[in-house]
Amino acid sequence: MRAAKRKTEVRQEQIAQSALTLIARHGFHRLSIAALAREVGVVPSAIYRHYQGKEEVLDAVLELVSQRLLENVEAARRETANALERLHALLMRHVALVQNGVPIPRVVFSEEIFTGHRKRRQRVHQIFQQYLGRVAGMIQEGQRAGAIRSEFSPVTLSVMFLGLVQPSAILWLMSEGEFDFPQHVQNAWQVYCRMIQTKN
């Protein structure tokens, strides 16, 4: 059966989304043009009507991931004005993102990143730094408002914030659901929160 004709912008979006889905399901290195085309409902060579090649598709996927992450930050900001509550909200959203299969771990930890083309590694690094920057910003605001202890650097605290999710996410991915991911992040948050908040 022949696939319907779509405008290239629409197809580009479809392709990037499908790529994200496939990576979430089977990982980065199993993303072949053939599988991607099948998911979109099109023939492999059709992909090349909308992207110059696989590299360009991967770049598009990265942009999608970046978008999701920053959307989360904005949503958390809107949710509450309190710094600690914002961090907590962001953490929960991050957990949901990982659980719903947005393959942040898979993309970020992927070998294609570390050993692939330099430009892409730099882009991921940039995405990371952007995200960390926003988190550090939240922390700094909390410090200025007197809700978070000022003796620790926001940068250090922001990287540690990432450390609340990452190991748990990996354990969860490996344990086939046995490891209680949200519960554990919750526990870690309790400890982290107790540590950084000012006493009263």
Partner DNA sequence: CTATATTGTGAACGGTTATTCACAATACCA
Partner DNA sequence: TGGTATTGTGAATAACCGTTCACAATATAG
List interacting residues with a copy of itself (CB under 8 A).
Answer: 26-30, 105-106, 108-115, 121-122, 124-125, 128, 152-153, 156-157, 159-160, 162-164, 166-168, 170-171, 173-176, 184, 187-188, 191-192, 194-195
Provide φ and ψ at 2, rounded to 5°. -90, 135
Note whether 174 binds DNA by CB under 7 A. Answer: no
Segment contacting DNA (CB under 7 A): 49-57, 120-128, 172-180, 182-190?
49-57
CB of 45 to DNA, least distance (A): 3
DSSP assignment, residue 199? P
CB of 188 to a copy of itself, least distance (A): 5
Q: Which is nearer to DNA, 34 or 75 (CB)?
A: 34
Q: Which is nearer to a copy of itself, 28 or 51 (CB)?
A: 28
What CA dihedral angle connects 152, 192, 156 and 146, to 10 degrees?
A: -40
By a kind-dependent CB cut-off of 5 to 8 A, residue 163 interacts, out of a copy of itself, DNA, none, with: a copy of itself
Note whether 112 binds DNA by CB under 7 A. Answer: no
DSSP assignment, residue 81? S
Spell out the residues 6+ positions from residue 138 whose beta carbon is closer than 8 angstroms to its own.
77, 83, 86, 87, 90
d(CA 159, CA 153): 10
Count Cβ atoms below 10 Å from residue 94 Cβ, excluding itself: 24
Q: Which is nearer to DNA, 29 or 125 (CB)?
A: 29
By a kind-dependent CB cut-off of 5 to 8 A, residue 106 interacts, out of DNA, a copy of itself, none, with: a copy of itself
The H-assigned helical ranges of 100-176 are 104-109, 111-115, 118-144, 154-174
Provide φ and ψ at 164, rounded to 5°. -70, -30
Binding site for DNA (CB under 7 A): 1-8, 11, 30-35, 42-50, 53-55
